[in-house]
A and B are shown apart, each in its own frame.
Chain A
Amino acid sequence: MMARPNVLMQVQDLRVKGLETGGTILNGVSFELKAGEIFALVGESGSGKSVTSLAAMRLLPAALAITGGEVRVAGLDLFELPEADMQTVRGERVAMIFQNAMSALNPVQTVGEQVAETLRLHTSQRGSALRQQVLQLFAEVGIKSPNERYSFYPHQLSGGQQQRVLIAMALACEPNILIADEPTTALDVTIQQQVLALIKGLTRSRQLAVLLITHDMSVVRNTADEVAVMYRGEIIEQAAVDAFFRNPKEAYSRRLIEALPNLADFHSAFEGEALLELDDVKVHFPVRKGILQRISDYVRAVDGVSLSIGRGETYALVGESGSGKSTLGRAILNLDRISAGSITFQGVSIHSLNRRALLPYRKKIQVIFQNPFSSMNPRLTLREIIYEGVDSLMNLSGIEREQRITVLLDRVQLGAEFSQRYPHELSGGQLQRVAIARALAVEPELIICDEPTSALDVSIRAEVLELLQELQSEFGVSYLFITHDLSIVPGLAHRVGVMQSGRLVEQGTAEEILTRPQHPYTQALLASVPRVDAAESTDSTGE
């Protein structure tokens, strides 16, 4: 840093309380935003990072109230301003972009019109000059063929494109401060990189002061200039990014950083008998049209996938959303019928079995879902949830049955006293342990883990993954690990398959895939994986 950049926004000792609960949400948060720099506010869900930005913009929900502190933008104390002036501050000085671009755009107006609308409020330009300026903005945020896209509706654009439109809209009034609240969380990893690069580029070219709110350390690593770690409504550590990653001071920060995986540690290649074999499996969903529901076309969700999983092996199936990896999991569980190919489990082809004949195999193949909150019936106790499979698939004597729950809950580090609780009383991490216990209860040989950690906070993620690995070595169970996140693959999987649009584009041992990817798609995925050693290397994805 050459000269001290000028400070555009100052937040001093910001305090927020919940009106009904009286609990402290923010406890004296202070920071500064400087022109041309990205300031990252990082923390887990509930740490108060979004509340900070909303409070600074006086956009808090009615249940929360600001109890102290001040926010200064260009010499104005925002908490002193009348609401009408605050409106102008929000549009012309500070702009915001949010996580979910689709819901921030009006679905019945073309994207060009929506950006023009914003411009019309703040400039006197009309007609073709206005259109020209929108096109210029579109070009600036990297929307290809802007002239054509001008008349597109939001649903016709991909998530990344929508986010770009939102950024264009935010920039329309030429603000000098940009607040980005988890701008890339809803996007696929490869798109995520591009949008972050765009924000970074705009920060430099327009000399914006950016407040970037994120839970993702890799985003911070690649994008931010300065970082502040939030924990329970307080900033516990604040430093320049390089210094922070080289030498984090707080134990909590260290934990967040260590949650970034080590890409050098691989499982050795796996040798053993095959448990599950898929041969050219296809899952096609018919697209029906017209009053007679004639089948007009098929959605090829899974289009010819062959793979095999050995006993005690972990096979990681990697791909972005919509690549068909979850559908494949559902097909193995026989929740979706396959259209062609075969699924063989221990030499028996299970895809053509009826409900009754399948029961013995239901016991052997189990599943853990992504969202622990929706994978449990909120109206049952944990005991009822765990016994559901046991009662339907196994014949246990009374004592055996009673002992099982204690053993299981102990094994997933919860303790038997949890058995009478309801799901909403537990945290996400605890619930995911219950989901694991529920799957283990029927002594399966293969567990399909469908993104089991992506709904969890980073610090809990590692614990759950560790538990899964322990259980593997203890019970010799195999995993089909479905994930979009290549970074958790090393140290977990023996083999990796990469899926794109229903096809398996590449598979091999974890080491092969992660160190010598052949397919360009795998390479793109890998390029977007955060690396711990990135601190030393120069930023390659930045511009």
Chain B
Amino acid sequence: MKPLLLWSDLLIYVLVLMLCLFFLRLRSDPQTREHWRRVFSTRLGMVTFTLILVYVGIALLDSLHFRRALEPVAGTQSSERFYDNQVTSALDVMLGGMGERFERTYSSPFALISFAKENMKDENGALYRDFPQLEHAGRHLSAPAERWTDVLKKSITALIWGLLISAVLVGMQWAFLRRSSLPWYASWLTQTTVICLAVWLVLISPYYHVLGTDRGGADVAYQSIKGVRTAVLLGTLATLIMLPIAVTLGVMAGYFKGRVDDVVQYLYTTMSSIPGILLIAASVLLFQVYIDLHPDFFSTGMEKADARFIALCFILGVTSWSSLCRLIRGETLKISQLEFVQAAHAFGVSHSRIVTRHILPNVVHIILITFVLDFSSLVLAEAVLSYIGVGIDPAMGSWGNMINSARSELSREPVVWWTLSGAFFFMFVLVLAANLFADLVRDAFDPRTGSRVATA
């Protein structure tokens, strides 16, 4: 086994660490703490945040990559070890080889036979055409009729295991948090649901393809789960690349005004008058050419896909800062006219100190709100970009690619609906959770919705 650190793995861990530090620092400000408390004192806040954490957890697990050592080929006398070209992650291990059970082509959820007929030979050697048995589904059954009772039995076992595991986890949390006034039970309920589902999926997937298989015979449930990392990473990374650009330029424009303001305004006006998709498509294609010309930079296909992915994040980040920049410029203009900033000027406080002490803390709510709101729109943007073919490399699982393939599947008869549904379900839960959470964050942090007079 050889660990492999992709650039995006490194980034995601650095990012999560930075976010944790940021939130820890925010805790020191009692007003901010009060706002977060308001977010988490609602059941909706607890549920959505738990869901987001689950997604982030999956993404983190999926970012521990390694390459398996290959068994020495019999007959060769080499001390050198060879490693699999296929990159595996901790999540793959936990899912128990779910991604390694390939079929020939499409099969519907819980199916025992393939979706398409094939030529086969019977015992007598006569050629006939029928639906072949799947290789990794229902092989343990003695008769196809037992399928649903078997599924039910396995589900009940899974439920019991799931409840047991969540009882232990929730019990541990309860021991620490029972005195808290926040609605933790909402979070516990969500955790129990998620754990039961996960245990069920892990236990049942060796016997059936829960969400069927796609054109290449790969398990759809597995692919949907692999799409989580891509989405979460893209959402956070692109936003975090965009934030410093938007905040720096916005605050500078709003604070120094005059020439600086002119330059920044010209920049973002120009930026927002170029069609975004065109710019993104052009940049991605340029970078793809670069990757193709330098195959020696990348030892595995995964690394290539990863490079393209990071490039996409950068491009999305660099092209989407203008709206936040405009917001922050406006807010800074307003705040720098407020009397406490005037008073600071009268006290001879330096520019940098005024910006860090008076301006930034008062635009943080905008940054936070934008961060959470943009997250979901970027996840959706990825789907759109993959759909038009300039998104994530097909080697890297992503919902956009799955939806892209649905184009031809939905026009088949009978219709192949499960690839689209799988991607849609996972994306829908994440985006809905992120949007609802964003709403709560906005309600809590936006001074206009609060009862408190902040800048009035």
Contacts and interface: CB of A to CB of B under 8 A. Distances in A.
Interface stretch (A64-72, A172-180, A314-322, A360-368): A360-368
B20 interface: no
A377 B31 contact: no
Interface in A282-327: 293
B362 A377 contact: yes
B452 A424 contact: yes
Interface string B229-273: 000000000000000000000000000000000100000000000
Contacts of A385: 340
A371 B452 contact: no
Contacts of A88: none
Contacts of A378: 31, 362, 452-455
Interface in A353-386: 355, 358-359, 362-363, 365-367, 369-371, 373-380, 385
B164 interface: no
A330 B346 CA distance: 9
Contact of A377 (B262, B358, B453, B456): B358
B34 to A, nearest CB: 10
A372 to B, nearest CB: 9
A345 B339 CA distance: 23
Interface in A427-465: 435, 438, 442
Interface in B313-362: 338-340, 342-350, 353, 357-358, 361-362
Interface stretch (A228-236, A256-264, A388-396): A388-396
A393 B348 CA distance: 7
A519 B344 CA distance: 38
Contacts of B345: 333, 335
Given A358-B348, A367-B342, A369-B339, A422 B30 contact: yes
A374 B455 contact: yes
A531 B26 CA distance: 53
B68 to A, nearest CB: 52
Contacts of A366: 346
A388 B31 contact: no
B343 A369 contact: yes
B338 A374 contact: yes
Nearest to A365: B346
A359 B348 CA distance: 6
B29 interface: yes
B340 A377 contact: yes
Nearest to A373: B453
A62 to B, nearest CB: 14
A171 B98 CA distance: 78
Contact of A379 (B348, B361, B453, B456): B361
A365 B347 CA distance: 9
Nearest to A384: B357
Contact of A422 (B31, B353, B455): B31
A369 to B, nearest CB: 4
A362 B339 CA distance: 16
Interface string B424-456: 000000000000000000000000000011111
Interface residues of B, number: 26
A335 B342 contact: yes
A379 B360 CA distance: 11
Given A369-B339, A374-B340, A377-B362, A362 B347 contact: yes
B29 A379 contact: yes
Contacts of A376: 340, 343
B328 to A, nearest CB: 17
Contact of A373 (B30, B262, B343, B456): B456
B348 A369 contact: no
Contacts of B339: 369-371, 374-375
Given A367-B342, A422-B31, A424-B454, A377 B361 contact: yes
B349 A392 contact: yes
A61 B342 CA distance: 35
Which of B31, B338, B345, B348 is packed against the most chain A CB atoms within 10 Å? B348
A358 B347 CA distance: 10
Contacts of A435: 343
Which of A335, A359, A377, A385: most chain B CB closer than 10 A?
A377
Contact of A392 (B348, B358, B455): B348
Contact of B343 (A355, A358, A367, A393): A367
Interface string B17-40: 000000000000111000000000
Nearest to B360: A379
Contacts of B31: 378-379, 422
Contacts of A330: 342
B38 to A, nearest CB: 14
A392 B357 CA distance: 13
Q: Name the residue among A335, A376, A378, A422 with the largest chain B CB count within 10 angstroms.
A: A378
Contacts of B455: 374, 378
B362 A379 contact: yes
A424 B347 contact: no
Nearest to B450: A424
Contacts of B349: 388-389, 392
A377 B453 CA distance: 11
Interface string B46-57: 000000000000
A363 B347 CA distance: 7
Given A373-B456, A378-B31, A389 B347 contact: yes
Contacts of B358: 377
B361 A393 contact: no
B9 to A, nearest CB: 36
A500 B143 CA distance: 100
A375 B340 contact: yes
A359 B347 CA distance: 8
Nearest to B258: A293
A393 B347 contact: yes
Given A335-B342, A392-B347, A438-B343, A374 B456 contact: yes
Given A378-B455, A392-B349, 16 more contacts: A293-B262, A333-B342, A355-B348, A358-B348, A359-B348, A362-B346, A369-B339, A369-B342, A371-B339, A375-B340, A377-B340, A378-B452, A388-B343, A388-B349, A392-B350, A393-B347
Which 10 pairs of residues, A with B, have the shortest CB-CB distance? A389-B347, A375-B339, A362-B348, A369-B339, A379-B361, A377-B340, A378-B454, A359-B348, A392-B349, A374-B338
5 contacts: A333-B345, A362-B347, A373-B453, A379-B29, A379-B362
